[in-house]
Amino acid sequence: MKSVKEICIEGFEKNFVEKPDFYSYAPGRVNLIGEHTDYNGGFVLPCAIQFGTCMVARLNGTDKIRCLALDMENDFDEFEISRNIVKNDQKLWANYLRGVVYQFCERFEGKIRGLDIAIKGNVPKGSGLSSSASLEVCLGTLLKGAFNLEISPMDIALIGQKAEAYIGMKCGIMDQAISANGTADHAVRIDCKSYELTSVKVPEDALILIINSNVKHQLVGSEYNDRRESCEKAARVIGVPLLRDATMEMLEKVKPQLDDETFRRAKHVISENERVLLASEAFENGDLKTLSKLMYESHVSMRDDFEIVVTQTDTIVNLVKEALNADYAPARQTGGGFGGCVVAVVNSEDAKIVGQTVMARYHELTGLNAEIFVTRACAGAHFEKV
Ligand code: GLA
């Protein structure tokens, strides 16, 4: 079978009738724990996965970026390199790229030149595994490499985050940060206030399962930004800059001043932050039992307090619990919410039982088909000359 890179090179040669000079790749991610904590300055524990976005490119001698999306029936977009790149109302995918180039032009004026780019990815779209972050980081890594720019992986991630804001999604830094900074065989705990990164080794006997509910999530919308506003409101009432700086006691004190919904959303974030710290310690020590309890608590908190869990992902988590005949499922809905995937951390024996149970029962309960992958924890983005 041909690799994504080979397909991308072939697609480039066929359409641009030249050979590409540059290659870049950036992975998607799965978040083990720490949901909606990033934009609150808190902690997250994701790892980069073996699905990602690949680009191959060549200087085209113009002042235009020309992009070909091989996965989207060769859809094409071109735009001038400038500090005033406007959005393309017809093509959402292209706006992620426009947003990244626009940020690079602001920071590296005069250094970005025309490129022809072919793009191919294999992150399942709408699965909550960050296909858009991998697209942004892949392009940032390509621009850095092609034009020898002085920029760190974390700054590329920050540019990706700004590209999302340009489109209307006020996301946090997690997805882009892990895509740029992933470490092979490790999850990475990210302090989203200081941007400090701590690698946490995946225990020998642990498998990371991704179970796709096939309920497509679409985050560029009001639900995400609405949750963010609630968190900001709670922080204001508590009197801290970010919910990261608040404790449960501080939240309890202002309970009478908050509506129930805002209170529960803040409760999720504050408790989730604590769970991430405990979970990374448990993960480091190979204590899958404690990890399991924390993952399940995270899921319940997202479901009952933060209200971002759909019935289908909840069904999967319950099936995992049932399969293992346990009090807690080592599983939770992962990512922004409203569908997408469930992540589970299990040993190989349990992985088999979980796989069989989900495959046997999910369709019957929901009418949908689940897909299950085992992922390695992968390295972050890279660039090379072809
Ligand atoms: C999306 C956002 C991230 C993060 C998660 C929820 O993936 O892009 O910044 O907020 O949702 O944890």
Taking the chain (386 residues) in consecutive chunks of 10 residues, what is each chunk's mean pLDDT?
Answer: 94 97 98 98 98 98 97 96 91 95 95 98 89 97 98 98 92 98 98 98 96 82 90 98 98 98 98 98 96 98 97 98 96 95 97 97 97 96 97
Does residue 336 have its Cβ closer than 6 Å to ligand 1? yes
Pairing of strands 115-121, 64-69: parallel
Q: DSSP letters of 196-217?
A: -EEEEEPPTT-EEEEEE-----
Residue 6 confidence (pLDDT):
96
Does residue 343 have its Cβ closer than 6 Å to ligand 1? no
Does residue 20 have its Cβ closer than 6 Å to ligand 1? no
In whole angstroms, give the CA distance from residue 54 to residue 166: 22
Residue 221 confidence (pLDDT):
64
- Residue 85 CB contacts under 8 Å (≥ 6 apart), including other chains: 79, 98, 99, 101, 102, 105
Residue 267 confidence (pLDDT):
98
Q: DSSP letters of 93-154?
A: HHHHHHHHHHHHHHHSTTT---EEEEEEE-SPTTSSS-HHHHHHHHHHHHHHHHTT----HH
CB atoms inside a 10 Å sphere around CB 288: 19
Residue 218 confidence (pLDDT):
65
Residue 192 confidence (pLDDT):
98
Total count of residues recorded for the chain: 386
Residue 281 confidence (pLDDT):
98
The angle, 0 to 180 degrees and rounded to 10, between the axes of the packed helices 260-284 and 222-238 is: 90
Residue 169 confidence (pLDDT):
87
Nearest protein CA to atom 7 of ligand 1, as residue? 336
Residue 26 confidence (pLDDT):
98
Residue 222 confidence (pLDDT):
84
Pairing of strands 46-59, 64-69: unpaired
In whole angstroms, give the CA distance from residue 63 to residue 85: 13
Give the distance (Å) from ligand 1 centre to CA of residue 337. Answer: 8
